[in-house]
Structure 1
Amino acid sequence: MSTTALPLRRAPDATAILLMIALCAVWGFQQVAIKGANASFPPLLQAGIRSTIATVLVWLWTRSRGVALFRSDDTLASGLLAGVLFGGEFVCIFLGLTLTSATRMVVFLYTAPCFMALGLHWFVAGEKLKRVQWVGIALAFGGIAIAFADGFLHPAPGSTSTWQGTAGDALGVLGGVFWAATTVVIRASPLARATASKTLLYQLGVSAIILLALAFAMGQTHVNTITVTAVASLAYQAIVVAFLSYLTWFWLLTRYMASRLSVFSFLTPIFGVGFGVVLLGESLTTRFMVASALVVTGIALVNAPAGRRRA
């Protein structure tokens, strides 16, 4: 293991800011893309294909750069755990989007930074929460409560009952918990010293196996009429999101302060809600808009630069 000191990360410049805004837009569109492929591919099969394609692309990319992937570095156990949690996140997202709307899913899923802050507070030294972050978490969880109440009063389009829509909303929150747990495992284990590409391969490779196995076990292997929209949506998820955007994110983390980059995460649910309304015609109630505002404000406060250590 190399003992060379990591270069000091700097505050985001114009390039980093523009890239982060683009990444947030890419991630916000992901829920719309999943909806676009649901008519052709069962959710778990779709998720498994996505992870499989991305795994191959990341592996080819690392080979082309001569990155050593199979050197012993004590990351196997934590890597497998991170992969299982990553797979659990996408089980929740893909199944949840069959029960609730893309606009609701993106808001519930992006409560992850709040769960992440709690997990890091408990398990990673130097990541203790400040007062402003506790306020942010309280606001975000208050927003979740209001959004769940709104789901009972106004079921998402396609839901046959309030309980079905609420189950989809709950899967969104659970997906956020899985996402946060994955990050905590990475930060608190030997994966923190592994290369970004190796860490990403653990997540994509293990999740591909889990998702495809679940698809076969649950009989979600029948493909309906394949449309251009479905293929484009699946390609977007695998190539643009799981491959290009994740590698770009990790590249940014090697050069800029993570605390300053993560504050942009509040833009993702804003983009996601906008895409859902404009492209899918999903409606927003006043109660849900208030809930979304609380969640977004909470995310921004949780990621406040003054409350985090330089990373």
Structure 2
Amino acid sequence: MKRRDSIDFAGASGLVVFAAVLALNQVVIKVTNGGFGPVFSAGLRSVLALGIVLIWARLRGRKISGLRDRLWPSLLLGCFFTLEFIFLYTALDLTTVSRASILFYSMPVWLALVAHFTLPGETLSLQRALGLALAMAGVIWALLDPHTRAAGDLRGDLAALGAALSWAGIALTVRLTRVSELNAETQLSLQLAVSAVLLLALSPLFGDLLRDPGWVHLAGLGFQALFVASFGFLFWLGLIAIYPASDVAAFSFLSPVLSVGLGWVMLGEPVGAGIIGALALVAVGIVLINLRRTA
């Protein structure tokens, strides 16, 4: 499709739907963890999603190629992807969806901070520095919120932060290496393939692989593989190719907002004034970080 200079109605609608799918995915992961060990579940998801992406690429005539010339950055990308989901699935096993989501979706904060020192043209302006400060204040508020702390777990909270940092590592690897030259199907297949091997190999170190799985847990795995890890990510990468990255990234604040609401509605998680205030600070901060720079 033709490259566009700004988000139109179709793009905005697609991003809202994708944000809702990502938010629902947090709840689905937590439910699925009831039937499978978290890291084993993440590994199974990668295996299923890899099969879907390879079939899709074959049907579309899209080649999975170019990895030989980019072996080391490709492996680094796969390792960051693996770490992200070890941390995220463990976090959602230990703490609430609301706390994990706020901390996980703080990724743009850490990316902006590191990019200030590593990426040309990414120096923090006053606007972006304000967004960074607000979002970091929100993260601290979420960690200290007494209303939800009893329902959460500090280990899970720290794991969610680890997932956010790993996600930022993925973005930096793509920006700083030749991995960015690979097409979307190749990038995604690479991450899924490396993570499938590593997650399944490491999963016995994280406890029982099976926790009395039932149909709801199998359905959860299917949802994650089909709507998030394969077609969901391909859809997002497609939007990045059409619309400005900063405009697309600005919609990332919707996912933690929707995740907190879904955790409250679907799982009965406590949501007090503190967690809502923390969410608001993180959301505003992410928007300021990703807005085009003011003159």
Q: Following the alignment from structure 1 to structure 2, what is the Cα–Cα distance between the partners of residues 178 and 283?
A: 27
8 Å contact kept, 2:108–2:168: yes
8 Å contact kept, 1:75–1:194: no
Q: Which amino acid aligns with 2:28?
A: A
Q: Does 1:96 align with 2:84?
A: no
Q: Following the alignment from structure 1 to structure 2, what is the Cα–Cα distance between the partners of residues 58 and 129?
A: 37
Map residues 71-150 of structure 1 onto 2, 5 A cutoff: 71=66, 74-150=69-145
8 Å contact kept, 2:148–2:275: no
Residues 207-228 of structure 1 show CA distances to partners (whole Å, capped at 9, x for unaligned) of 111111111344432x233322
TM-score if structure 2 supplies the norm length? 0.94
SS in 2 for 1:127: coil
Q: Pick from 221, 227, 230 the counterpart of residue 243 of structure 1.
A: 230
Give 2:165's aligned residue.
177
Residues 62-84 of structure 1 show CA distances to partners (whole Å, capped at 9, x for unaligned) of 12222222346632111110110
CA separation of 1:307/1:198 partners in 2, compared to 1, >3 Å: closer, same or farther?
A: farther
Q: Following the alignment from structure 1 to structure 2, what is the Cα–Cα distance between the partners of residues 198 and 32?
A: 28
Q: Following the alignment from structure 2 to structure 1, what is the Cα–Cα distance between the partners of residues 211 and 123?
A: 49
Identical aligned residues as a percent = 33
Residue 240 of structure 1: CA displacement? 0.4
8 Å contact kept, 1:101–1:156: no
Q: Which amino acid aligns with 1:174?
A: G
Q: Pick from 149, 158, 164 the counterpart of residue 155 of structure 1.
A: 149
CA separation of 1:296/1:216 partners in 2, compared to 1, >3 Å: closer, same or farther?
A: same
CA separation of 1:11/1:147 partners in 2, compared to 1, >3 Å: closer, same or farther?
A: same
Give 1:203's aligned residue.
191
Map residues 33-48 of structure 1 onto 2, 5 A cutoff: 33-48=28-43
Q: Which amino acid aligns with 2:219?
A: A
Q: Does 1:273 align with 2:260?
A: yes
Q: Following the alignment from structure 2 to structure 1, what is the Cα–Cα distance between the partners of residues 157 and 207?
A: 24
Q: Following the alignment from structure 1 to structure 2, what is the Cα–Cα distance between the partners of residues 125 and 70?
A: 29
Q: Following the alignment from structure 2 to structure 1, what is the Cα–Cα distance between the partners of residues 143 and 206?
A: 28
Residue 155 of structure 1: CA displacement? 2.7
- What is the count of residue pairs matched by the alignment? 295
Q: Following the alignment from structure 1 to structure 2, what is the Cα–Cα distance between the partners of residues 34 and 156?
A: 21
Residue 135 of structure 1: CA displacement? 0.7
Q: Following the alignment from structure 1 to structure 2, what is the Cα–Cα distance between the partners of residues 303 and 50?
A: 30
TM-score if structure 1 supplies the norm length? 0.90
CA separation of 1:296/1:130 partners in 2, compared to 1, >3 Å: closer, same or farther?
A: same
Give 1:212's aligned residue.
200
Give 1:302's aligned residue.
289
Residue 29 of structure 1: CA displacement? 1.0
Structure with greater helix share of residues = 2
CA separation of 1:166/1:219 partners in 2, compared to 1, >3 Å: closer, same or farther?
A: closer
Worse-matched range after superposition: 134-143 or 8-17: 8-17
Residue 302 of structure 1: CA displacement? 0.7
8 Å contact kept, 2:37–2:206: no
Q: Does 1:168 align with 2:162?
A: no
Q: Following the alignment from structure 2 to structure 1, what is the Cα–Cα distance between the partners of residues 274 and 222?
A: 35
Q: Which amino acid aligns with 2:238?
A: W
Q: Does 1:285 align with 2:279?
A: no
8 Å contact kept, 2:143–2:149: no
Residue 59 of structure 1: CA displacement? 1.4
Worse-matched range after superposition: 82-91 or 58-67: 58-67
Q: Following the alignment from structure 1 to structure 2, what is the Cα–Cα distance between the partners of residues 294 and 88?
A: 27
Q: Following the alignment from structure 2 to structure 1, what is the Cα–Cα distance between the partners of residues 7 and 241?
A: 12
Q: Following the alignment from structure 1 to structure 2, what is the Cα–Cα distance between the partners of residues 307 and 187?
A: 23
SS in 1 for 2:62: coil
Give 1:60's aligned residue.
55
Q: Following the alignment from structure 1 to structure 2, what is the Cα–Cα distance between the partners of residues 191 and 184?
A: 11
Q: Does 1:190 align with 2:184?
A: no
Q: Following the alignment from structure 1 to structure 2, what is the Cα–Cα distance between the partners of residues 7 and 123?
A: 31
Q: Give ranges in structure 2 of 5+ residues lacking alignment.
A: none
8 Å contact kept, 1:265–1:299: yes
Q: Following the alignment from structure 2 to structure 1, what is the Cα–Cα distance between the partners of residues 27 and 294?
A: 33
